[in-house]
Chains A and B, each alone.
Chain A
Amino acid sequence: MELVTPNIGLVFWMTLAFGILLFILGKFAWKPIMKMIKERENTIEEALQTAEKTKLEMANLQLSNEKLLKEAKEEREALLREARKIKDGIVLEAKHKATDEANKIIESARLSIQNDKMAAITELKNQIASLSIEIAEKILNAELADKDKQNLLINKFLDEVKLN
């Protein structure tokens, strides 16, 4: 029976001690401890969120980097293509020019050859004319040395001229 009968003295001291304990701990222990725990949790939460955000940003950055790279590649490609085109154009033009030049040169060569040829022909003609005249002279000289022959020839010519 003694065991289940609360003792007034112990009730009094217990109430007093527990009350003071509650007050002291509430003020000097639980308040700062709970505050610090909460603060730390918030810090951790924030840090996690920041990490998540950074991750996202990094992903975005990577994406934009890739985009940039792609763009750069495309631009390079385009540049190359254009350069190639220009080069081709230049080469083609050069070719054209060269052909023209060559044609011109050939033309002028041909012209001068023609000229030379004509000159040579003219000279040849002149020489042939003078040669033939000389030959004709010599032949006439030889033909007309004999009297009979002269008569024959005159007759021949006369026959030819007859009735014309």
Chain B
Amino acid sequence: MQLLTRKTIFLFLFSFFTILSSIAYCNTLTENKDSLTINHGDSLKSNVKEEFNPGVMIMEHIGDNHEWHIITIGDTHVSIPLPVILYDNGTINIFSSSNFHHGSTSYKGYKIETTGENNGKIVKVKTDGYTTDNNASKPLDFSITKNVLSLFISFFIICWLFISIANSYKKRKGHAPKGIQSLLEPIILFIRDDIAIPSIGTKRYERFMPFLLTLFFFIFINNLMGLIPFFPGGANLTGNIAVTMVLALITFFITNITANKSYWKHIINTPGVPWWLKFPLPLMPIVEIMSLFTKPFVLMIRLFANITAGHIITLGFISLVFIFGNMNVYLGYGISIISVLFSVFMGLLELLVAFLQAYVFTLLSALYFGMAIVEEHEPAHKK
């Protein structure tokens, strides 16, 4: 009986919020249309009234940016201007991205490209102030972009979270965990008991624990922050190939630096393989050496693709509202209910994916470490 009531309340609230948010979406739709028209009226772009383009919208959301757009009210953009740091032929230029006026003007001979293959990147302009100088070398962009700022925010969140937990461990020495400590301890133990120990072995797993824990929580927390649709979340950090590349490279370097003799022997002269696979054409060694690089490459692609795909699908569902709203406002209202329902479903799925991808990345890293340091005549997966 009580369950039934709770269910009813939940359903009611759910449908209420669904309808509410759908109305909100439709409102932003009209606002967006207006603002787009007004904003681009005097911009570098054409004066043509812009139709809603879901592809551009989605790419803007999952890509990086030199400012952090928070909200648009009427025709005013509320966004955080971020510092631009450019390294150009030995000189360093630092200035605020607000000087670009949302990409509409150039500053100090630089502008944000709005078309072509360099879309969104900072390029040099010719002396006239707005035409792209295609002959000049591109400056190296070390700007604090949206993703970099998001990285810093998550850096501080993770530091604060785990140092405070470490303190509560010190304070409550030998006692049962409490509060946020008890929320995260099962995950820490999970990483230790179900990832590190089975993959690396009881003897040597401790060396890798700091990296595995940092890796897991970095990916997990950034995945979750990517699911928050507004500041300070919303950046697609773990869905950015640069970030996943750095993580995969660290795994690659740790694997190969800690690797022992037996590991290299397996790569160069794989035992238990017929000799003609190694001589005269060293097929096996080639395959093995390739696998050295494909392993981290796959790690990089997997995380990037999973998180980006999740964002794209969710944004795609939201875009449906605007697409149908462009045809007919009432159709937009109708579709918004379905869209939001699907988005909620995707959001829940993304929560799972956020954990799963962090788990998979950590597990595979641990497995690679385990393979690299396993002794000869010793089973790799020792429980």
Interface residues in chain A, defined as those with a beta carbon under 8 Å from any beta carbon in chain B: 1-15, 17-18, 20-22, 24-26, 28-34, 36-37, 39-40, 43
15 A-B pairs within 8 Å (CB atoms) are namely A5-B241, A7-B242, A8-B140, A9-B85, A11-B246, A14-B242, A18-B214, A18-B218, A18-B246, A21-B214, A24-B163, A25-B214, A29-B163, A29-B165, A32-B166
CB of A34 within 8 A of CB of B141, answer: no
Nearest CB of chain A from residue B84's CB, rounded to whole Å: 10
Q: What 5 A-B pairs have minimum CB-CB distances, sorted nearest first?
A: A29-B162, A6-B242, A26-B210, A10-B242, A36-B169
In the complex, residue of chain B having the shortest beta-carbon distance to the beta carbon of A34: B209
In Å, the complex CA distance between A39 and B174 comes to 7
Whether the pair A10, B240 counts as a contact (CB closer than 8 A) is: yes
Q: Complex: how many Å from CA A7 to CA B244?
A: 12
Please state if B148 and A21 are interface contacts (CB–CB under 8 Å).
no
How many pairs of residues, A versus B, come closer than 8 Å at their CB atoms?
A: 123
Selected contact of B242 from candidates A1, A11, A33, CB within 8 Å: A11
Q: Which residues of B contact A29 (CB under 8 A)?
A: 159, 162-163, 165-166
Closest chain B CB from A8 CB (angstroms): 6
Partner of A8, one of B142, B209, B211, B240: B142
Besides A2-B117, A13-B144, 12 more A-B contacts (Cβ < 8 Å) are A7-B242, A8-B141, A10-B147, A13-B142, A14-B151, A17-B152, A28-B162, A29-B163, A30-B210, A30-B214, A39-B173, A40-B174
A84 to chain B, nearest CB (A): 62
B190 within 8 A of A: no
Residues of B whose CB lies within 8 Å of any CB of A are 59, 62-64, 85, 117, 119-121, 140-145, 147-148, 151-152, 155, 158-159, 162-163, 165-166, 169-170, 173-175, 185, 188-189, 192, 206, 209-211, 213-214, 218, 240-243, 245-247, 250, 304, 308
Q: Which listed residue, A10, A14, A28, A43, touches B174 by the CB 8 Å rule?
A: A43
**Which B residue's beta carbon lies closest to that of A1?**
B117
Q: Evaluate contact between B64 and A25: CB separation under 8 angstroms.
A: no
Chain B residues near A3: list those with CB within 8 A: 59, 62-63, 241, 308
Q: How far is the CB of A46 from chain B (nearest CB, A)?
A: 11
Contact B174 A33 (CB under 8 A): no
Q: Quick one: closest A residue to B250, CB to CB?
A: A18
- Which residues of chain A are near B141, meaning CB under 8 Å? 7-9
Given contacts A26-B214, A37-B185, contact A6 B151 (CB under 8 A): no
